[in-house]
Amino acid sequence: MRKGLWLFVPIFFFLLVMLAVPALLVSYPSATPQEKAPAPQELPRDPDEPVIRVFLSEEKRVVRVPLEQYVRGVVAAEMPADFHMEALKAQALAARTYIVDRLRGGDFSDMETMGTEAKGAHVSDSVLHQAYRTDEQLKKSWGDRYAAYSSRINRAVLDTRGQVILYEGEPIYAAFFSTSNGRTENSEDVFSKSFPYLRSVPSPWDEKSPRFLNEKTLTLDDFVRRMEKATGKRVAVAASSGGDWIRVLERTSGRRIKTLRIGDQTFTGRQVREALGLSSTDFTWTIENGRIRFQSKGYGHGVGMSQWGANLLAHQGKSAEEIVRHYYRGVDIGSLNAVLSQASKKN
């Protein structure tokens, strides 16, 4: 009897443990699941921080946004949140510098072209200035990635908080764009003004960008019609011109098309790009069966910092400051407070 009891007791406890362990695993899940995204880091508000009046073009209203919160919205709109952290920091520096330079300039007359609702705004949320997204828009576009992406963007803003890009002690015009054709442009080849820090520099790593090569095909009639509509010039093509009725006349330092001849008219590469919706002014073309196919290299105007170039440089181990110094020549990273202090003394 005792021998049977001793055999029964171990078996009983074995069965009890086998039943209890699965119940514990189901009833008490891990308190730290591996897939849990980090909570977004808050952006603390400085009481002396400038407030930016942003015109939301779709909603047709102006909102007041603290500077660093505005920078967050620009970085989130202008650069993919999964880019390298050093690239995101470089974008934050450029975004902050752009708006500070605009505030110091004090000329917001271009807002008048956006309607009466834009009156009083410093800047719009469109690419006319810098793209910007509100937190509500980010929640919709990022979905279940909102927490993780917010944490990354906030870190880029916080790590560069209060820093701007300076040339000879003044905030620069921090132009940027998506992808170069292998070089950036001198500012005067694209804009009306020459800036000493916006010089053509090599950016060969941009070839790895998914936006490096782009194509567009049009009928010849549509091509001529679009050029005439956009520029107001009538294009006449001589019957004897053969296939030589489109030819490049001059190129920029960045190897883009500066001017070209179409029929009996001369156009800038920028006019062609904007009229046809091409991705850049570095384009070639082939004509066959009444159609013209354009192949473009790069994406954007080409002046200043290449965003994909910044990301690829960061993956090569370059810091945000090194990236900024490559694309903006002869600049320094300085204090926003010092800039604002100097401005107040001048006024």
Same domain, 162 and 255: no
Contact between 106 and 326 (Cβ < 8 Å): no
The Cα 89–Cα 84 span in angstroms is 9
Instruction: Tell me the pLDDT tens digit for each residue of 236-280.
Output: 986 545 568 999 999 999 999 999 999 999 999 999 999 999 999
Does residue 42 fall inside a structural domain? Answer: no
Residue 198 CA, chain-centre distance (Å), reads 17
Q: Which domain holds residue 120?
A: 51-190+305-346
Same domain, 341 and 277: no
Instruction: Tell me the pLDDT tens digit for each residue of 289-324.
Output: 999 999 999 999 999 999 999 999 999 999 999 999
344: pLDDT confidence band, cut at 50, 70 and 90?
A: low
Does residue 90 fall inside a structural domain? Answer: yes
pLDDT at position 192: 86
Q: Quote the Cα angle for 146-147-151, to 5°.
A: 110
Does residue 115 fall inside a structural domain? Answer: yes
pLDDT at position 337: 86
Closest CA to 212 of 204, 201, 221: 204
Instruction: Tell me the pLDDT tens digit for each residue of 15-40.
Output: 443 444 333 333 333 333 333 444 45
Average pLDDT over residues 205-224: 97
Instruction: Tell me the pLDDT tens digit for each residue of 43-56.
Output: 778 778 899 999 99
Query: What percent of the chain clears pLDDT 90, i.e. is strictly above it?
Result: 79
The Cα 132–Cα 63 span in angstroms is 12
Query: Could you say which of 297, 314, 336 is where a domain stops?
Result: 297
Same domain, 277 and 161: no
Does residue 19 fall inside a structural domain? Answer: no
Better-scored residue on pLDDT, 189 or 243: 189
Q: Please name the residue that has the structure tokens 């883009």.
A: 256
The Cα 96–Cα 93 span in angstroms is 5
Contact between 102 and 74 (Cβ < 8 Å): no
Same domain, 313 and 291: no
Same domain, 175 and 318: yes
Average pLDDT over residues 140-155: 97
Is residue 9 pLDDT above 70, yes or no?
A: no
Same domain, 263 and 330: no
Give the length of the chain: 347
Is residue 95 pLDDT above 90, yes or no?
A: yes
Same domain, 228 and 271: yes
Better-scored residue on pLDDT, 114 or 243: 114
Same domain, 132 and 68: yes
* Number of domain units in the chain: 2
What letter would DSSP give residue 139?
H
Beta strands in 209-264 (DSSP E): 213-219, 246-251, 257-262
Same domain, 183 and 68: yes
Instruction: Tell me the pLDDT tens digit for each residue of 330-343.
Output: 999 999 988 877 65
Same domain, 185 and 248: no
Does residue 229 fall inside a structural domain? Answer: yes
Instruction: Tell me the pLDDT tens digit for each residue of 161-175.
Output: 999 999 999 999 999
Closest CA to 78 of 91, 59, 96, 89: 91
Does residue 45 fall inside a structural domain? Answer: no
